[in-house]
Amino acid sequence: MSKVTHFDHPMIQHKLSIMRDENTGSKDFRELASEIAMLMAYEVTRNMPVEEVDIKTPITTRKFKMLAGKKTAIVPILRAGLGMVDGMLKIIPAAKVGHIGMYRNEETLQPVEYFCKLPQDIGEREVIVTDPMLATGGSAIDAINALKKRGANSIRMMCIVAAPEGIKALQEKHPDVDIFVAAIDDELNDKGYIVPGLGDAGDRLFGTK
């Protein structure tokens, strides 16, 4: 079974509470999503392997630690996952960015894939999928199916708010994918929205309805 890491950090919780406030406008909402992603990236990358390399300082040469092994790909689920990319790139500037377009059919709540463009060497990269909302889990499950079909084999899922139902569904379908989340809310309502949640993340990020 995959691991769920819940970020109970005061800075993240404070920023998330402002995002939840219905009076927070798109500009602040975008900045906060990016800041939370940056803070989470620090922990999501914690177990990345390092190796000792020779570095010549102005004084002498010594071995120091640098990242080793697989390179990273960040894959936002469009649209809302885009709101986490800038923050992630602040911590992992050399990462490549793929994109998967998914929208939920608002009646069936089933995700529909409409776009997929990934780095060619996706199978050789640590993949971090970003989406602020994990509700039924359908979009994340299908995005990860699409990634695996194209060769990705080491995937982490990073979201800001998750419903217990979404976590359970994702763990059942992809037990190899660890999940990183800033908040686990109460439940889904009958329209598939997370309660208390923050509303429609894509609309709030981009000012649409």
User: Residue ranges for the binding site for 5-phospho-alpha-D-ribose 1-diphosphate?
Assistant: 79, 104, 131-139, 200
**CB of 167 within 8 A of CB of 181?**
yes
Alpha helices by DSSP H, listed for 21-125, are 26-44, 85-91
Query: Which tokens sit at 10?
Result: 């005061």
Contacts of residue 142, Cβ cutoff 8 Å, sequence gap at least 6: 102, 111, 113
DSSP 8-state symbol, 132: S
Among candidate residues 30, 72, 104, 156, the one labeled active-site is: 104
Does residue 157 touch ligand URA according to CB under 6 A? Answer: no
Q: Which of 158, 174, 192 lies closest to 37 in space, CA to CA?
A: 158
Q: Is residue 108 among the annotated active site residues?
A: yes
> Which residue's CB is nearer to ligand PRP, number 118 or number 201?
201
List the catalytic residue out of 8, 21, 62, 108: 108
Q: Does 102 bind ligand PRP (CB under 6 A)?
A: yes
3-state SS assignment for residue 116? strand
Q: Does 192 bind ligand PRP (CB under 6 A)?
A: yes
Q: Torsion angle of alpha carbons 106, 196, 38, 142, nearest 10°?
A: -30
- Report DSSP state, residue 176: T
Task: Work out what residue 79 binds among ligand PRP, ligand URA, none; the CB cut-off runs from 5 to 8 Å by kind.
Answer: ligand PRP
* Residue 194 near which of ligand PRP, ligand URA, none (CB within 5-8 Å, type-dependent): ligand URA
Determine the Cα–Cα distance for residues 11 and 202; give it in Å rounded to an integer: 23
Residue window 159-198: x/- pattern of binding to ligand URA, with contact defined by CB under 6 A: ---------------------------------xxx--x-
Q: Kindly tell me which of 32 and 73 has the beta carbon lying closer to ligand URA.
A: 32
As annotated, the active-site residues are: 104, 108, 200, 203
Footprint of ligand URA (CB under 6 A): 80, 133, 135, 192-194, 197, 200-202
